[in-house]
């Protein structure tokens, strides 16, 4: 049986001898690489965090010797069972067994770091003591974004959130040229419109985009998020209730959601449940980046809390794969697409509705100012629809 040193040496040697797989270029603020802060890369399961780390490795290799870039994935079964010691001894083992340029920075890329017990303390120690070390961590856990990690690392972090492919990245992956002048009149317009419909129906999870069995793969992602990322992590006891709650959340994509009405629904089904439990469940769901709540815009927080939230999901494909539906609701799917793009840009997002039921899908606030109002509509050829959307 191999000890920690043998396991780590074997995995690192395997990494140095292997070629990285082909990948689709993702958007990333490369200025982060020049920072002395710890870079954390977070996002929903299977959104492409590992491949983004590969992309950063390729970028770094243009200016840094390859042996100055260390990558290790803590979901590698060859490391199991994990005790926490693996991370503590990793750098020492590397320095003792591998040659590198000591005049250049040493980059340490740690994938799925949340699997290591008490990893925050080790990262803080390495950050404080290793002056020529740059650390990049990735993970699906909400702990990488929480106030606890900020406190543990004394705020010395820069965070980049990874989402499934944007529509632009989706077109790149499918080798569809979207940089066309006068696209309205181009013969390629129909190809891009078909691409948009495919994107709305099956979403942008990278592997799903490239595979044939899209629905089955999306259903597998849903089960993994449900059981591994939420039920196991938060030790949820009432499994049936939580399964039903997640279905309700998924069904309410781009729709108003009321905790009170949902509570009454579950009570009518015989569940003994409180509103606070449902709110706690929603926190768990948001922590995995699966779904997001958007409040109504009011200057008063008290008024905001009295109104339903709108719910949006990380990917329209996963919603379509698991929801009970009679038809594709293109309007809601398009609205969800716009929300995720705004979320990708880290906007402060609200919706707005008045007493006459006129609504604006997205109100974007920047500082103290309302920056933008956005209305999403799939088809405005109908005069009644156009009037309603314009009045809002």
pLDDT at residue 111 tops 70: yes
Distance CA 290, CA 316 (A): 11
For residue 1, pLDDT over 70 is answered with: no
Residues 6+ apart with CB under 8 A from 265: 248
> Which token pair is 322?
């698991």
Express as a percent the part of the chain with pLDDT over 90: 74
**130-168: per-residue pLDDT in tens?**
989 999 999 877 667 666 667 777 778 898 999 999 999
**pLDDT of 388 above 90:** no
Residue 382 has pLDDT above 80, yes or no: no
Contact 241, 274 (CB under 8 A): no
Average pLDDT rounded to a whole number, residues 293-315: 92
Q: What is the pLDDT of residue 386?
A: 58
How do residues 243-301 score in pLDDT, each as one tens digit? 999 999 999 999 999 999 999 999 999 999 999 999 999 999 998 999 999 999 998 88
Q: Say how many CA atoms lie within 13 Å of 342 toward its Cβ.
A: 27
CA distances from 22 to 52, 321, 339 (A): 11, 27, 29
Residue 304 has pLDDT above 80, yes or no: yes
Give the residue, 384 or 49, on which the prediction is more confident: 49
Q: What is the topology classification, in CATH, of domain 4-162?
A: Rossmann fold (3.40.50)
CA distance 131 to 106: 10
Average pLDDT (53-75) is 97
Q: Between residues 316 and 387, which one has the greater pLDDT?
A: 316
pLDDT at residue 283 in the model: 95
Chain-wide mean pLDDT for the chain?
A: 91
Question: Percent of the chain, pLDDT > 70?
Answer: 93
Range name among 3-17, 18-32, 136-150, 208-222 with the lowest pLDDT average: 136-150
| Span of 28-32, 227-231, 387-391 with lowest mean pLDDT | 387-391
Query: How many angstroms separate the Cα of 186 from the Cα of each of 183, 197, 199?
Result: 5, 18, 20
Q: What is the pLDDT of residue 92?
A: 94
Q: How confident is the model at residue 352 (pLDDT cuts 50, 70, 90)?
A: very high
Confidence band, pLDDT 50/70/90 cuts, at residue 188: confident
- Nearest in space to 20 (alpha carbons), one of 73, 77, 63, 78: 73
Please give the average per-residue pLDDT across 334-362, as a whole number. 94
Helices and strands, number each (H, E), in the chain: 17, 11
Q: Distance between CA 39 and CA 181 in Å, rounded?
A: 37
Mean pLDDT of all residues in 370-387 = 78
3-state SS, 327-350, equals CCCHHHHHHHHHHHHHHHCCCEEE
Report residue 153 as tokens: 């690392």
Chain region(s) in the chain for CATH 3.40.50.300: 4-162
Strand 348-353 versus strand 359-366 pairing type: antiparallel
Q: Decide: helix, strand or coil at residue 223.
A: helix
User: CA-CA distance, 25 to 363, in Å (whole number)?
Assistant: 31
Q: Would you place residue 226 in the very low, low, confident or very high pLDDT band (cuts 50, 70, 90)?
A: very high
Q: Is the pLDDT of residue 332 over 70?
A: yes
391 vs 82, higher pLDDT: 82
Cβ(93)–Cβ(81) below 8 Å: no
Amino acid 187: pLDDT: 75
Mutual angle of helices 85-97 and 4-17, in 10-degree steps: 60
**Structure confidence at residue 32 as a pLDDT band (50, 70, 90):** very high
């Amino acid at each position: 049986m191999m000890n920690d040193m043998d396991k780590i040496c074997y995995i690192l040697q395997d990494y140095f001898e292997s070629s990285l797989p082909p990948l689709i270029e993702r958007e990333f603020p490369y200025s982060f690489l020049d920072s002395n802060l710890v870079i954390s890369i977070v996002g929903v399961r299977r959104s492409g965090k590992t491949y983004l780390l590969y992309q950063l490795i390729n970028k770094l290799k243009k200016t840094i010797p390859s042996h100055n870039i260390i990558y290790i994935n803590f979901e590698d079964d060859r490391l199991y069972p994990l005790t926490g010691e693996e991370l503590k001894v990793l750098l020492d083992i590397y320095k003792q067994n591998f040659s590198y340029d000591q005049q250049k920075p040493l980059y340490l890329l740690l994938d799925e770091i949340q699997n290591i017990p008490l990893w925050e303390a080790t990262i803080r120690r390495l950050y404080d003591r290793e002056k020529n070390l740059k650390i990049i961590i990735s993970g699906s856990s909400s702990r990488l974004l929480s106030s606890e990690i900020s406190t543990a690392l004394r705020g010395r972090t820069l965070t980049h959130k990874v989402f499934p492919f944007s529509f632009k990245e989706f077109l790149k992956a499918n080798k569809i040229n979207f940089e066309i002048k006068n696209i309205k009149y181009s013969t390629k317009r129909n190809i891009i419109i078909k691409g948009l419909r495919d994107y709305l129906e099956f979403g942008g999870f990278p592997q799903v985009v490239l595979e044939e069995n899209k629905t089955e793969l999306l259903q597998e992602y849903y089960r993994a998020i449900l059981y591994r990322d939420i039920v196991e992590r938060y030790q949820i006891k009432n499994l049936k209730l939580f399964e039903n709650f997640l279905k309700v959340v998924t069904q309410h994509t781009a729709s108003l959601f009321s905790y009170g009405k949902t509570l009454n629904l579950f009570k009518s089904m015989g569940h003994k449940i409180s509103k606070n439990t449902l709110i706690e469940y929603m926190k768990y769901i948001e922590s995995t980046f699966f779904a997001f709540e958007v409040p109504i815009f009011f200057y008063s927080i008290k008024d905001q809390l009295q109104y339903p939230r709108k719910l949006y999901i990380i990917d329209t494909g996963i919603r379509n794969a698991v929801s009970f539906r009679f038809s594709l609701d293109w309007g809601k799917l398009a609205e969800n697409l716009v929300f995720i793009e705004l979320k990708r840009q880290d906007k402060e997002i609200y919706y707005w509705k008045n007493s006459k039921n006129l609504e604006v899908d997205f109100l974007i606030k920047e500082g103290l100012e309302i920056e933008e109002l956005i209305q999403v509509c799939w088809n405005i050829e109908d005069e009644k629809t156009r009037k309603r959307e314009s009045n809002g």
